[in-house]
């Protein structure tokens, strides 16, 4: 989705995105930090397009029906990689 298409969509807060995904705001921060989610910094707060969150959830559900489990598995894989180094 292009930037122009995204800018015209309603934006939701970090808290709303967390509620929509069924995760904590800390998890949203982690997803932002590792580049899994793209947020728009408006002032000092991140905003997200609802369509982007829905797209992310659909992508995660296709690869793993439990999005929280999928995220935790990804974190565990990263930690194992770091320990092996």
User: Using one digit for the tens of pLDDT, what is the confidence trace for 6-28?
Assistant: 566 678 999 999 888 888 899 89
Strand pairing report for 45-49 and 11-13: antiparallel
- Confidence tier at 78 by pLDDT (50, 70, 90): low
Do 46 and 12 contact (CB within 8 A), yes or no? no
Which two tokens mark 22? Answer: 């069924």
- Sorted by where each starts, the structural domains of the chain and their CATH numbers stand as 3-84 (1.10.1660.10)
Q: Centre a 10 Å sphere on the Cβ of residue 66 and count the other Cβ atoms it contains.
A: 12
The pTM of the full predicted model, rounded to 2 decimals, is 0.61
Output the pLDDT for position 13: 92
Q: What is the pLDDT of residue 58?
A: 79
Torsion over CA: 13, 17, 18, 22 (sign) = positive
pLDDT, one tens digit per residue, over 45-71 is 999 988 888 888 877 765 555 656 666
């Amino acid at each position: 989705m292009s930037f122009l298409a995204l800018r015209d969509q309603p934006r939701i807060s970090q808290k709303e995105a967390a509620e929509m995904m069924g995760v904590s705001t800390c998890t949203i921060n982690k997803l932002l930090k590792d580049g899994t989610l793209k947020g728009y910094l408006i002032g000092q707060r991140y905003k997200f397009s609802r369509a982007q969150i829905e797209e992310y959830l659909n992508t995660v559900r296709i690869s793993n029906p439990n999005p929280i489990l999928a995220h935790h598995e990804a974190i565990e894989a990263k930690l194992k990689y770091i320990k092996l180094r």
